[in-house]
Structure formats: C-alpha cells, structure tokens
Amino acid sequence: MGRIMDNLESRCIRSGLKMTDQRRTILKVLEGAEDHPSVEMVYERARSQNPSISMATVYRTLNLLDELGVVIRHDFKENFSRYELNAEHHDHLIDLETGDVIEFQDGELEAIKERIAREMGYDLVDHRLELYGKRKRS
Amino acid sequence: MGRIMDNLESRCIRSGLKMTDQRRTILKVLEGAEDHPSVEMVYERARSQNPSISMATVYRTLNLLDELGVVIRHDFKENFSRYELNAEHHDHLIDLETGDVIEFQDGELEAIKERIAREMGYDLVDHRLELYGKRKRS
DNA sequence: CTAGCTGCAAAACATTTGCATTTCG
DNA sequence: CGAAATGCAAATGTTTTGCAGCTAG
C-alpha cells in the first residue's frame, strides 16, 4: 500500500480537501474495490472499518471526488449509481444474467469515437459505451 | 398521418393493450416529438391536448411501451429519463453546452460492438453509446 | 482560530403503487 | 359484464441539504 494511497491523498489535498478519517476510509475502500460499488456498498464497507461514518458523508465525498476526477460515476441501467477510481479509460460490458460488470478496452473503438465526434463538428469531452449481453451457450 | 399512428396503435392492440384516449394522446405526442422528451415533457404536451391525463398514467404507459419495444428509454447523464419512438437504431451525441441531443449512425461502430461482445464470449442484447462534446470553435 | 467537515433528520426528486372508480371491448 | 386502465394521493428509493456541533490545518 502507501504508494497509490499517498497519491490519492495528496491529490485530494492539493485540490484543497481536508483529509479526515472518513475520507481516508472511503479512499481506502475505493482502492480495495475490485468491483464497481454502489454508494450503499461504499457506505457499508467504510462503515465496517469506521462505524462513525454517515451516508451523507459518503454521498458528499463521492460527489467531490467525482468533480475532482478522482473517481468515475457510472449510471448503468439501474436506479442507483456506482463508482470506481479513475484509472486508465475502459468501457463496460454488463452481464444481464448476473449483473457482473466486466471492463474492456479497444483501441479501434476509441479511434472511431473520436472520428465520429470530429466529423460532426464536435470536440469529444466525454463518452460512454456500455454493452449489455448474455453469456454465450455451448 | 394515419399510417404511422395506425401501426403504432395496432401494434399496441396486438400486444393486448386497450386503446384509451390517454394512450392515444401519448402516442400522438411521441409521434410528433422531434426531440427526446422527458416524462415531464410528455406529460405537459399530452396534457395540453387532453387535460384529463395524469402523471401516473404517463409513467405507466411509457413503461408499457418500453417493455413492448415501442419506445426506447434513455438515461443520459441527467437525473431523469427521456423517451423516443423506437425507430432505426442510432446513437447519441449530447451537446454539453446546449443540452441538445443529436442522433447519428455508424456502421463500422456497430460491427465493432458486435465483435467485442463476441470476443468476450457474449451475445450482445443491448448497448448504449453516448458521446458528450462541445461544438468546435473556428 | 475558523473554514471546512460531519452526523442527523428532514427535504427533494423522480418514479411507483394501493385503491376506489371508470372505461374498453 | 369483467378485465384492464385511470386519477389521486400516499409510498418508495435514491440523493441532497439545513443546521448545530466538531476538527484539520
């Protein structure tokens, strides 16, 4: 540990955030997450490490981190949001049967997105691509 | 008119839906929409043609139409849903400055989406691609 | 010390639902 | 007539916020 967390922490501090226990805990939860946790999940995991943390703080913190670009907020076809640390760009494939979220990256795809935006007279600021599928039988 | 609406209506009837004034009005609103209206907007437009229509009915109807595949529900990066008639497939570019939603279609892109899902061992059931951009200057 | 955080509970929003009544077929 | 649809108001689930007290820097 240490390396990544320090980077995260210092990035937050450089952005003018105060480092409280709650925030440190939330960052640690995000760091350790191998999935794309919902706010509820971040809350529960944080709470198990540090019971004195409230839902409101989790929401406020995730919103801040999102604005700073430290995390990415996802709104898949569900009625709640999920978050993940903002690492290298990738897209998502959602398994419709299990709800699993699988990451993937495809250079050709990235190039095409850029091209399309450009052709339409736009600078691409952000984008999202989600594939929803069922595991192939046989 | 007539042609499209009859198709819509008969499609609904064939699916076992009763054709009420409210539903006819909502279908007409969707037919006339050149944008991607929110539920609130569908409600207001429907209401101006037929004041005896309630929000609950708009929600219930749009959900039904979505299940039947008559409309497509979009959840862009906003905190509400938008709907449009289910015509030929296309993706969306959202203008971050004006909020305008622009449709586009790109065959190469479609092929790549299929390929990626296949390579990962999935059958593509649904997908969404949204580009968020700012109009190029100069 | 004090701007910024926090917890709590209440509010805000979009959306759904229970129920009594009306309507389509 | 009977199943399905409607309006209304209340309930829901997620996310936000006002406020008084706490804490990092």
In angstroms, the CA B32 to CA B26 distance is: 10
In chain B, which residues fall in CATH 1.10.10.10? Answer: 3-85
Q: Where are the alpha helices (DSSP H) in B35-106?
A: 39-49, 55-68
Nucleotide nearest to B80 (CA to C1'): C14
H/E element holding A9? helix A3-14
* Domain with residues A3-85, CATH architecture: Orthogonal Bundle (1.10)
- pLDDT of B71-129, one tens digit each? 999 999 999 999 999 988 899 999 988 888 999 999 999 999 999 999 999 999 999 99
Over residues A101-128, the mean pLDDT reads 93
In chain A, which residues fall in CATH 3.30.1490.190? Answer: 91-133
**DSSP state letters, A54-118:** -HHHHHHHHHHHHHHTSEEEE--SSSS-EEEE--S--EEEEETTT--EEEE--HHHHHHHHHHHH
Residue A50 has pLDDT above 70, yes or no: yes
- Contact: A108, B106; criterion CB under 8 Å: no
The pLDDT confidence band at residue A66, using thresholds 50, 70 and 90, is very high
* Interface residue of B90, B116, B135 to substitute, partner A, most A CBs within 10 Å: B116
From residue A126, how far is each of A26, A117, B105, B136 by CA, in Å? 25, 11, 18, 14
Look up tokens 């440190």; give the residue.
A24
CATH classification of A91-133 is 3.40.50.620, yes or no? no
Task: State the pLDDT at residue A87.
Answer: 87
Q: Where are the alpha helices (DSSP H) in chain B?
A: 3-14, 21-32, 39-49, 55-68, 107-119
Q: What is the pTM of this model?
A: 0.82
